[in-house]
Amino acid sequence: MTVVFFIFSLCINLKITNMTTNPHLISLAEAAVMTHAYQNATQFQGMTVACMMDNNAYQQVMTQPACTSVRTYFALDDLNNLTIVVVGVDAQGNDIASGIIMERAHRCPILCNKNSPLMK
């Protein structure tokens, strides 16, 4: 019983520590409010609401030498569809423009998770 409690406490402490030390983490409720606000905004009706890339694409960007962060640019493809361009960033905050740059994200609508709480 003591071992189970210790492991449970350790897991809770790790989760709390990770949540408090990573300023980018938000709750599902916060994320839903933000994504729904975008999806409901009249100026964005009919536009892309999400982009998806596989883990391997991000890993290729993140594991290149000197990469400490990832920057996502909003962009328009050749058909004027909203997309993203992903680039690595070095410790000084500079884009690694000579490195790996990703696009060709799967857009939603087209490839969407209709049951996601982030979709309105």
- Which pLDDT tens digit goes with each residue over 49-74? 888 888 888 899 999 999 999 999 99
> Domain residue spans in the chain?
1-45, 48-114
pLDDT tops 50 at residue 119: yes
Distance CA 12, CA 4 (A): 12
Q: For 72-100, what is the HEC assignment?
A: EEEEECCCCCEEEEEEEECCCCCECCCCC
Q: Are strands 106-108 and 69-76 parallel, antiparallel or unpaired?
A: unpaired
Residue 115: pLDDT above 60? yes
Residue 16, pLDDT above cutoff 60 = no
Q: Report whether pLDDT(105) > 70.
A: yes
Q: How confident is the model at residue 20 (pLDDT cuts 50, 70, 90)?
A: low
